């Protein structure tokens, strides 16, 4: 590449020349070679198109910098580990419930190599996929049976498609919620083949509203937990026990979509009582569905617990195979259930171990970090509020502690600089101040966070 300034099209270096450039060696080696070649080709093509329209001279170094930037973007788009300092514990964009190394170590022997995922070792014949997992989930829930699909939306879809295809589904207007990614309950009903029958109003729906809508085309009664928003004021909703009684009276299954799903009382730890799976089952709901990667603290999964005959129907649905899970998910859920059954969830499930860290302990951690970085002016340790997130416990803020950069620092630049680190740190901005909330930062990540702050402060002082 003898030409340093590109003044005409023929001055552009070839794709192969760029791929061989020493200035690009590290960036190109960071991704698979075919990916790098395609990206270099695309970058050169765009640069040529811009050059044709503007005729503005372009340096080769500038072209190389553009290629480096594009390669970096590809690299950082790969799934990698980040430090969550947003204060949102179940962060949908950061993988929802955090998983511990200990959890993965515990399932390593069951997911590496071959396993009895669908083989009965005792009898030497084909077995039932996820048999132990389903047994443990049912035991935890206090239900007759349980099964697992790949996410909560899929669990609701499978229930609707199995039990109410071409039949009516009665649901309150106040529960026609939208979940993450723009997915709406009415859309799921439609795709499942069910007929939407909305009753009541946005703020008031009574049991009599449900009963008035029942006819010979009704397939089931659906209740959806408003897990990602809260209504206050002049509001009323039918109680689960009322709907269960109504379902028995008219011989209709009652389905409760809990969304986040939780097996333990949240009152003591969070000060807010989220409805539990066991409560739903005890009240007589026929099927209850919930997520595996929110308040359960595990991996992405949709879990259904309830009546044995109805779950058997769901599993016989030809579509069930399209949403089933693999040995990694089943192994993780088995381990998770074992922890809950043993009563050690506060220490052995990372989500709950983070939630159980006292505010006083977070304050000590913050002060230690501040001391380690030299207690620079404009950086303080202050009380703040963290949140569950992930569409769970929307009105429950959690006392937390954060390292806060004053307005003397440029908050948006800090956001960017912390994201550029080899192990990105994701913070938040409030009132033009950059905040590193410590609630979702594991004790094993504190030294990494300290080093990250030092690096960013050094970089910004240049």
Residues of the chain with CATH 3.40.640.10: 101-348
CATH 3.40.50.300 fits 83-95+354-461, yes or no: no
Strands in 215-361 per DSSP E:
218-224, 254-259, 287-291, 302-306
Is residue 148 within 8 Å of 327, Cβ to Cβ? no
Q: How would residue 53 be classed by pLDDT, with cut points 50, 70 and 90? A: confident
Question: What is the value of pTM for the model shown?
Answer: 0.90
Helices then strands, counting H and E runs in the chain, come out as 19, 17
**In degrees, to the nearest 5, what angle opens at C-alpha 268 toward C-alphas 262 and 271?**
85
Phi-psi map region of 133: left, alpha, beta (phi>0 left; psi -120 to 50 alpha): alpha
User: Can you give the pLDDT at residue 393?
Assistant: 61
User: Can you give the pLDDT at residue 203?
Assistant: 86
Instruction: List phi, psi (to 5°) of 168.
Output: -80, 145
CA 196 to CA 199: how far, in whole Å? 10
Tokens of 3: 């030409």
Tokens of 309: 């005959």
User: Can you give the pLDDT at residue 176?
Assistant: 85
User: Can you give the pLDDT at residue 344?
Assistant: 96
- Per-residue pLDDT of 245-304, as tens digits, reads 999 999 999 999 998 889 999 888 888 888 999 999 999 999 999 999 999 999 999 999
- Per-residue pLDDT of 221-247, as tens digits, reads 999 987 555 666 667 888 999 999 999
Nearest alpha carbon to residue 83 among 419, 383, 346, 332: 419
User: Can you give the pLDDT at residue 127?
Assistant: 86
Instruction: Check whether 2 has a pLDDT greater than 60.
Output: no
Residues of the chain with CATH 3.90.1150.110: 83-95+354-461
Give CA torsion, residues 415, 418, 421, 424, to 10 deg.
-80
Which of 54-63, 76-85, 422-431 has the least mean pLDDT? Answer: 54-63
* Architecture per CATH, 101-348: 3-Layer(aba) Sandwich (3.40)
CA 311 to CA 292: how far, in whole Å? 18
Q: Strand 145-149's sheet: what is its strand order?
A: 145-149, 302-306, 287-291, 254-259, 218-224, 168-172, 195-199
Mean pLDDT to the nearest integer, 299-321: 97
Mean pLDDT to the nearest integer, 136-143: 98
Tokens of 174: 């106040």
| Neighbouring C-beta atoms of residue 188, cutoff 10 Å | 18
Q: From the CA atom positions of the chain, what is the Rg in Å?
A: 27
In 3-state terms, what secondary structure has residue 436?
strand
């Amino acid at each position: 590449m003898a030409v340093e300034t590109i003044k005409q099209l023929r001055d552009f270096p070839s794709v192969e020349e760029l791929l061989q450039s020493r200035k690009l060696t590290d960036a190109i080696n960071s991704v698979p070679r075919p990916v790098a070649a395609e990206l270099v080709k695309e970058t050169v093509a765009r640069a040529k198109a811009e050059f044709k329209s503007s005729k503005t001279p372009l340096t080769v170094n500038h072209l190389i910098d553009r290629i480096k930037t594009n390669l970096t973007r590809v690299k950082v788009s790969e799934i990698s580990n980040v430090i969550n300092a947003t204060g949102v514990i179940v962060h949908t964009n950061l993988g929802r419930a955090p998983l511990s190394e200990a959890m993965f170590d515990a399932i390593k022997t069951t997911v590496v190599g071959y396993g009895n995922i669908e083989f009965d070792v005792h009898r030497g014949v084909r077995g039932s996929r996820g048999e132990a997992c389903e047994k443990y989930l049912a035991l935890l829930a206090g239900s007759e049976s349980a099964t697992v699909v790949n996410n909560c939306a899929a669990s609701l879809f499978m229930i609707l498609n199995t039990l109410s295809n071409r039949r009516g589904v009665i649901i309150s207007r106040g529960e026609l919620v939208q979940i993450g990614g723009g997915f709406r309950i009415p859309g799921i009903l439609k795709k499942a083949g069910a007929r939407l029958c909305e009753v009541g109003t946005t703020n008031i729906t009574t049991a009599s509203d449900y009963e008035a809508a029942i006819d010979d085309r009704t397939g089931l009664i659906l209740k959806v937990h408003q897990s990602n928003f809260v209504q206050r004021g002049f509001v009323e909703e039918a109680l689960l026990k009322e709907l269960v009684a109504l379902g028995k009276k008219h011989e209709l299954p009652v389905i409760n979509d809990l969304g986040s799903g939780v097996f333990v009382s949240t009152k003591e730890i969070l000060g807010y009582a989220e409805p539990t799976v066991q409560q739903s089952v005890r009240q007589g709901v026929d099927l209850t569905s919930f997520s595996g990667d929110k308040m359960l603290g595990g991996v992405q999964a949709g879990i259904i617990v309830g009546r044995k005959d109805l779950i058997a129907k769901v599993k016989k649905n030809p579509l069930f195979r399209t949403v089933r899970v693999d040995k990694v998910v089943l192994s993780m859920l088995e381990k998770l259930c074992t922890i809950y059954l043993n009563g050690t969830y506060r220490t052995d499930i990372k989500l709950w171990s983070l939630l159980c860290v006292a505010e006083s302990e977070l304050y000590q951690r913050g002060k230690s970090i501040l001391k380690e970085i030299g207690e620079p002016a404009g950086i303080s340790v202050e009380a703040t509020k963290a949140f569950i997130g992930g569409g769970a416990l929307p009105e429950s803020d959690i006392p937390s502690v954060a390292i806060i950069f004053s307005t003397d620092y440029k908050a948006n630049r800090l956001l960017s600089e912390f994201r550029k680190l080899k192990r990105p740190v994701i913070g938040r901005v409030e009132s033009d101040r950059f905040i590193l909330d410590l609630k979702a930062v594991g004790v094993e990540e504190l030294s990494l966070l300290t080093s990250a702050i030092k690096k960013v402060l050094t970089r910004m002082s240049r």
